[in-house]
Structure 1
């Protein structure tokens, strides 16, 4: 009889995070964990051929073998590519602000 391990499967939505804790046999894969979690039925927009997957923020494939206490993460597609947005801002001459920015004037001293 195969040893059991516990794994979390996570899908983050804009307003909440779905976390499902499941038990699997040793040697189970990312695909088996996702199928067992029930998230594919609950969220039909998840497409395993398009959505990226990770274990503790490291990208993995469906056939990756899991270990006890792993956290499988299903990532939603990006709405906008961050690199493209930065290029567009640069082309338009906009400056990204950090903190107060350089345009803040120092208070006058008497």
Structure 2
């Protein structure tokens, strides 16, 4: 106990409903350490959980678009020609990227 970083203990009482509410909030944050949760709430007043799944979906979509662009670049390098359909495909992929970025913004706002 001499090496304990936090040397001061704070105790308080809650009723059954308050305890259930605290545990529900902890479970929503995927937190199991009640002491950590209570300390963060006392010091910061709130805990923000960020859902990064939106970014994972967008990243995989953009990765697919990048593969299409790489295929076009390989074809251009192999033939030394740029075809009108290649340019159309590049424009379409650009449009897809803009749509994906707008989708990110709409989910964040």
TM-score (norm 2): 0.28
TM-score (norm 1): 0.28
Q: Which structure shows the higher strand fraction? A: 1
Higher radius of gyration, 1 or 2: 2
